[in-house]
Amino acid sequence: MKQKLEEIRASAKEALSDALNIDALEQLRIKYLGKKGELTAVLKGMGKLSPDERPVIGALANDIRSKIEGEIESKKAEISAKLEEEKLKLETLDVTMPGKRQATGELHPLTKVLENIKSTFIGMGFQIADGPEVEYDYYNFEALNIPKNHPARDEQDTFYISDNIVLRTQTSGIQVRVMEKTKPPIRIIAPGKVYRSDAVDATHSPVFHQIEGLVVDKGVTMADLKGTLEMFIHALYGESTKVRFRPHHFPFTEPSAEVDISCFSCGGKGCPVCKGEGWIEILGCGMVHPKVLANCGIDPEVYSGFAFGIGLERIAMGKYGINDLRLFFENDLRFLSQF
Amino acid sequence: MKLPLSWLNDYTNIDGVSPKEYADKMTMTGSKVEGVEDLGAELDGVVTGKVLTCEPHPDSDHLSVCTVDAGTGEILQIVCGAPNVKAGIIVPTALNGAKLPGGIKIKKTKMRGVESNGMLCSHEELGISEDTLGYEPEYGILILPDDTPVGKDIKDLYGLNENVVEFEITSNRPDCFSIIGLARESAASFGKPFSIPENKFTENGENIADTLSVEVLDKDKCLRYCARMVKNVKIGPSPAWMRERLQASGVRAINNIVDITNYVMLEYGQPMHAFDLRDLAKQQIIVRRAADGEVIKTLDEQDRKLTSDDLVIADGERAVAVAGVMGGFNSEVKDDTTTVVFESATFDAASVRLTAQRIGLRTESSSRYEKGLDYHNTVPAVERACALVEQLGCGEVCSGMIDVLGNVKDMSPITFRPEKINAFLGTDIPTDDMIKYLTALDIAVDTEKMTVTPPSFRPDLEGEADIAEEIARFYGYEKIPTTLLRGETTRGGKNDRQQATDAISAALTAQGMSEIYTYTFVSPSIFDKLNIPADSNLRKTVKIKNPLGEDTSVMRTTTIASMMEILARNYNYRNPSAKLFENGKVFIPNGGGELPDEPAVVTLGMYGGVDFFDLKGACEALFEVLNVNGVTYEAVTNNPTFHPGRCAAVKAGGKKLGIIGEIHPSVCRKFGIETKCYVGELSFENIFLNIAKEIKFKELPKFPAVTRDIAMLVDKGVLVGSIETVIRKNAGKHLEAVKLFDVYEGEQIPEGKKSVAYSAVFRAADRSLTGEEVQNIFDKILKKLEKELNAILR
């Protein structure tokens, strides 16, 4: 009987290895394991065995049954996998066809650059401040040490609403508003629209954007000003950008500086973009003038600070290689969708 | 300010410094160089040559064949076409290989078979103007004076071996609007000595005070008035060196006396004027305010109407100059002038600035005065003019000077704390170095009292911060270390409003809308274009007094026109569709000298393959992202900007969020758009107020939902919004969601009716709802729909 069982086992193994499809497997299962199958037939003869043999043969028969079952299952999985693979091979796509997508809109390039700048300063503990675009002469000029009839007013052709209300020519007035309301330490940037009475051309617009920055605290130094702006410039233009601080004059800072960076077009060798100078001016800055601090009720003997003003359009033009300022305000979708 | 570099050497010595090095260094010490022009850059290899012989060309009736000695060691044969060439004259000779302006190169050539080794030149070919020559030469080649040496470089002859440096002078440094001021900065920058030569001249013994009287009536506007007189004046051209320096500085040469006043202005930064004594009635000078409406014809022969705020120089009868701006036509120096009065005066900066502005005349003189000039400079300047008169031999200087002083102020000492300055700059500069930098700028340092006193020409130095800047400039900004902010940490970041703005931009770009930036000032005609009624408050605007033009003359009270203009532009550029938004502001006047309110506005606009529901969908998505709940849309039929049947007011929490809709076709046409446009104008402020402040998590459902569809026929005019209201009101607490999925009119639907279908989802939080329960709710809803809206279940 044992021998019979071994024969069934061997024959099943061979038959299974030859089976080609699921149907054939099923046939084999019935043939060996079914109610009328070979194994069942053998087991039916168990009653004739001696009590000693019965458990031994029983165990062997069960073992052989489970082995055959296992082999049928694994063969089945093997055949299914093969069948699936064959089917998948027929389901080809042209993967170079366009994807299905939702149309997306774009942020304006000025917003993109501004957000970039904001995140750098937020990382240094700055907050974002805001101020009115229609502004008192006092905040736009007087409190910034630019009294009436100061020649510096000529440098900023001003739109007037009335004798003492203007369209702000600079975001610097926000400095004063913040200092009037806030006790140091102050670290803010204040972006916004500014207005100058300039006719529109490729490099001038009567409306453009500035970002004002202000830091006031005990012991703020000009070295801090340099370090902070250098960090900002490296974040915006890359670590290899060279930065040059050059003395300049602004009525509301002292000492004042203009900041040049090595030309992003030629790297400083001199080219048409930098007019051969190798440097491009990107912002004005300085230590807050003691008179401005005093105007805002902050004691310049105790506190010091620095301020800076960045022209957003100029930065964006440099960053993206845009050569005409008017494009920012034309809002042609063919322009907007490039950023 | 233009500086011919050779002029510097009258006061300091920068020999051996290349123009590039000079420009770089000056820029880094605060005198920004805008550019350097080499006057002779385009000219090379042209020398003076003597024409030895001149014979007619054998094959030409207008060419001559000359032999020329140009000091080259050989006699050159040159063919010349000029009619005025002849033997014996000295002319500019371009040698073989010479460069002329316009990129012309001279090469050995043959002209009609005769070899020519160079070219004889006219002044035009050399790029030398008649102003530089000082006369109008005859037609042809330029014939030089007989005593001109042969072989001399023409650039030396006409001062073209000159580099002119152009500086950007900031408004705080009127002293640098002068050669002397720039020489002082240059000497300090390069560590070279600096001195101003003494002005020496002889006086003729006749005292000016015997002839002329000067009276100053307004001592606040006229801070100092100095006058000197020159007799036996011989008017003529000034010498070449003076004309060349004037020309290089951008000033035209006129005649010797006028040139002297201009030369001194450039050199000392002190504007000067010369009057013809004959024209000064009663030989008087009176500095007074103009009468209101007083008219003076200025040197440029324009009549200028003045006010009583303007200061004039008058004689015994009438105004002869607008103080600090321009002289009068009636008293100018003429060819036959014999006695000249030099004026060297200081006027109040603001007064000159306002007068120049009022009469629309900005001159070299006014642009210096308006920055505030040093009253100590008037005497040296007028003395320099007298010394030049003597040097040029164009008159006799009379004895004495009239000098009337007005209400002037002198500089006060400033506390000097080197340690404080170092702490401020973040540096460690030794005190001795600080003193060295300051002394080079003529700033007096008192080391006992530890004070510094700026010179009178530096009114910009008022406090310690100003002194710190002077030290930093010459120590070198580049040597100041770079450090990062220390001290108390601050909490950076965006506030709730700023974050809401960011969220709006993110939500709208996700809806396929691109952001635009527009001008905030608009034309007053937009209100008509938008069909806005004449009595609308929107027409009350903040007006610009001095706009660039009518089109940009008022601050906008609505952003719809700005959006329409951008849609129109995209439409005109043939962009087939556009979906745009703007985060902007409008300006609502408050009147009474108050600033306007500047509420923030979110504007949406689209055209091309879209309809009302694309716009509404964008709003819905926006509000969902922002967590603005309970938003309703109510039909608006009377907003003239919009289509009367396709416009909605958007509301939430009892606040109007804004208006959305299809733009009225007549408005579209006025903006030049021949397609349907959809625009929404939403109040950022009211959106922000309605953003849910807290979001609470709801347990996920554990029991199954039951979904039922409701289809009904209603009158065409019934709003789906009202159907939904009835469903929601009667569905009880188990209604989870109700969604419109079909609206149909047409075949199989009776005239005047429409079919509307909803699916409703019911669910209980604590158990499975039974079919019976749901049916009961459903029946109740249907009854109410029938009763309230005449709905017929389908």
Check CB contact under 8 Å for B520 and A133: yes
Q: Which CATH class is domain A109-336?
A: alpha beta
Q: Which helix (H) or strand (E) holds B437?
A: helix B431-440
Q: Give the integer Cα–Cα distance in Å for B581 and B517.
A: 9
CATH number of the domain where residue B452 is located: 3.30.56.10
Q: Which helix (H) or strand (E) holds B563?
A: helix B560-572
Among A101, A102, A104, A108, the residue to mutate for chain B (most B Cβ within 10 A): A108
Check CB contact under 8 Å for A244 and B487: no
Considering the domain architecture, whether residues B273 and B368 belong to the same structural domain is answered as yes
Q: Note the pLDDT of residue B458.
A: 93
Of B364, B194, B359, give the one whose Cα is nearest residue B264: B364
Name which of A106, A110, A122 is nearest B492 (Cβ-Cβ): A122
Residue for token digits 């099943």?
A12
CATH number of the domain where residue B632 is located: 3.30.930.10
Q: Note the pLDDT of residue B187.
A: 95
Considering the domain architecture, whether residues B547 and B432 belong to the same structural domain is answered as no
Q: Note the pLDDT of residue A272.
A: 80
Q: Which residue of A has its CA nearest to B420?
A: A301
Kindly state whether residue B351 falls inside one of the protein's structural domains.
yes
B506: distance to nearest CA of chain A, Å?
Answer: 8
In total, the C-beta contacts within 8 angstroms joining chain A to chain B are 245
Q: Which residues 659-718 in chain B show a CB within 8 A of chain A?
A: none
Q: Note the pLDDT of residue A20.
A: 82
**Buried b or exposed e, range A309-328, using 16+ CB within 10 angstroms:** bbbbbbbbbbbeebeebebb
Name which of B463, B498, B595 is nearest A132 (Cβ-Cβ): B595
Q: Which residue of B has its CA nearest to A208?
A: B519
CA angle in degrees (0–180, nearest 5) for A192-A197-A199:
110
Kindly state whether residue B311 falls inside one of the protein's structural domains.
yes
Of A286, A238, A242, A276, give the one whose Cα is nearest residue A262: A242
CATH number of the domain where residue B106 is located: 2.40.50.140
Report yes or no: B173 at the A interface, CB cutoff 8 Å. yes
**Segment A53-78 mean pLDDT:** 87
Q: Give the integer Cα–Cα distance in Å for B126 and B44.
A: 10
Considering the domain architecture, whether residues B549 and B667 belong to the same structural domain is answered as yes
Check CB contact under 8 Å for B490 and A118: no
C-beta separation of A157 from A196 below 8 A? yes
Segments in chain B below pLDDT 50: none
Check CB contact under 8 Å for A152 and B547: no
Residue A149's identity, in one-letter code, is N
Considering the domain architecture, whether residues B150 and B182 belong to the same structural domain is answered as no
* Residues 6+ away with beta carbon under 8 Å from B694: none
Considering the domain architecture, whether residues B307 and B437 belong to the same structural domain is answered as no
Considering the domain architecture, whether residues B573 and B590 belong to the same structural domain is answered as yes
Residue A11 pLDDT > 90 = no
C-beta separation of A169 from A152 below 8 A? no
In tens, the pLDDT along A89-132 reads 999 989 999 998 888 899 999 999 999 999 999 999 999 999 99
C-beta separation of B534 from A128 below 8 A? no
Beta strands in chain A, from DSSP E residues, in sequence order: 127-128, 134-136, 160-162, 165-167, 186-195, 207-217, 243-250, 253-262, 279-288, 304-311
Residue A156 pLDDT > 90 = no
B574: distance to nearest CA of chain A, Å?
Answer: 10
* Residues 6+ away with beta carbon under 8 Å from B24: B33
Give the tokens for residue B214.
């000067």
Kindly state whether residue B502 falls inside one of the protein's structural domains.
yes
Q: Which residues 548-567 in chain B show a CB within 8 A of chain A?
A: 548, 552, 555, 566
C-beta separation of A24 from A30 below 8 A? no
Q: Which helix (H) or strand (E) holds A100?
A: none
- In which order are the strands placed within the sheet that holds B655-663? B514-515, B578-585, B600-607, B677-683, B655-663, B642-652, B632-635
Q: Quote the crossing angle between the two packed helices B431-440 and B464-475, to the nearest 10°.
A: 90
Total domains in the fold of chain B: 6
What percent of chain A has a predicted confidence (pLDDT) above 70?
99
CA angle in degrees (0–180, nearest 5) for B651-B656-B659:
85
Q: Where are the alpha helices (DSSP H) in B127-233?
A: 130-133, 154-157, 179-190
Q: Note the pLDDT of residue B431.
A: 96
Q: Which domain holds residue B133?
A: 44-157
In tens, the pLDDT along A191-208 reads 999 999 988 988 889 999
DSSP B722-764: HHHHHHHHHS-TTEEEEEEEEEE-STTS-TTEEEEEEEEEE--
Considering the domain architecture, whether residues B340 and B309 belong to the same structural domain is answered as yes
In tens, the pLDDT along B32-69 reads 999 899 988 889 999 999 999 989 888 888 899 999 99
B58: distance to nearest CA of chain A, Å?
Answer: 51
Name which of B477, B484, B516 is nearest A331 (Cβ-Cβ): B516
Report yes or no: B461 at the A interface, CB cutoff 8 Å. no
C-beta separation of B195 from B202 below 8 A? no
Q: Which residues 385-424 in chain B show a CB within 8 A of chain A?
A: 423-424
CA angle in degrees (0–180, nearest 5) for B257-B380-B458:
120
DSSP structure class, residue B546: S
Check CB contact under 8 Å for A249 and B423: no
In tens, the pLDDT along B465-523 reads 999 999 999 999 999 999 988 877 778 899 999 999 999 999 999 999 999 999 999 99
Considering the domain architecture, whether residues B290 and B261 belong to the same structural domain is answered as yes
Name which of B28, B423, B521 is nearest A221 (Cβ-Cβ): B423
**Segment A32-46 mean pLDDT:** 82
In tens, the pLDDT along B248-304 reads 999 988 999 999 999 999 999 999 999 999 999 999 999 999 999 999 999 999 999
Pairing of strands B600-607, B632-635: unpaired
Check CB contact under 8 Å for B425 and A221: yes
Check CB contact under 8 Å for B483 and A219: no
CA dihedral B522, B528, B532, B535 (to 10 degrees): 100
Kindly state whether residue B488 falls inside one of the protein's structural domains.
no
CA A56 to chain centre: 72
Check CB contact under 8 Å for B494 and A122: yes
Considering the domain architecture, whether residues B263 and B176 belong to the same structural domain is answered as no
Give the tokens for residue B741.
């999925």
Q: Which residue of A has its CA nearest to B564?
A: A331
Q: Is B5 helix (H, G, I), strand (E, B) or coil?
A: helix
User: Does residue A173 come out as left (phi exceeding 0), alpha (psi in the -120 to 50 range) or beta?
Assistant: alpha
Q: Give the integer Cα–Cα distance in Å for B722 and B203.
A: 105
DSSP structure class, residue B523: -
Q: Which residues of A touch B518 (CB under 8 A)?
A: 329, 331
Q: Note the pLDDT of residue B131.
A: 75
ipTM value for the complex: 0.85
Q: Is B365 helix (H, G, I), strand (E, B) or coil?
A: helix
Query: pLDDT band for position A267 (50/70/90)?
Result: confident
Considering the domain architecture, whether residues B212 and B153 belong to the same structural domain is answered as no
Considering the domain architecture, whether residues B22 and B86 belong to the same structural domain is answered as no
Check CB contact under 8 Å for B483 and A162: no
Kindly state whether residue B485 falls inside one of the protein's structural domains.
no
CATH number of the domain where residue B379 is located: 3.50.40.10
Residue A152 pLDDT > 80 = no
**What rounded mean pLDDT belongs to chain A?**
90
DSSP B622-680: HHHHHTB-S-EEEE----TTEEEEEEEEEEETTEEEEEEEEEPHHHHHHTT--S-EEEE
In tens, the pLDDT along B179-226 reads 999 999 999 999 999 999 999 999 999 999 999 999 999 999 999 999
Q: Note the pLDDT of residue B621.
A: 95
Of B360, B363, B331, B329, give the one whose Cα is nearest residue B347: B363
Q: Give the integer Cα–Cα distance in Å for A198 and A207.
A: 9
Check CB contact under 8 Å for A331 and B566: yes
A79: distance to nearest CA of chain B, Å?
Answer: 40
Cα–Cα distance list, A199 to A157, A192, A323, B554 (Å)? 11, 20, 17, 16
Beta strands in B413-572, from DSSP E residues, in sequence order: 414-415, 444-446, 451-453, 514-515, 521-522, 554-555
Q: Which residues of B touch A328 (CB under 8 A)?
A: 517
Q: Note the pLDDT of residue B457.
A: 93
Q: Which helix (H) or strand (E) holds B191?
A: none
Residue A97's identity, in one-letter code, is M
Model confidence pTM above 0.90? no
Check CB contact under 8 Å for B552 and A328: no
Considering the domain architecture, whether residues B751 and B732 belong to the same structural domain is answered as yes
Q: Note the pLDDT of residue A31.
A: 86
DSSP B164-189: EEEEE--TT-GGGSSHHHHHHHHHHH
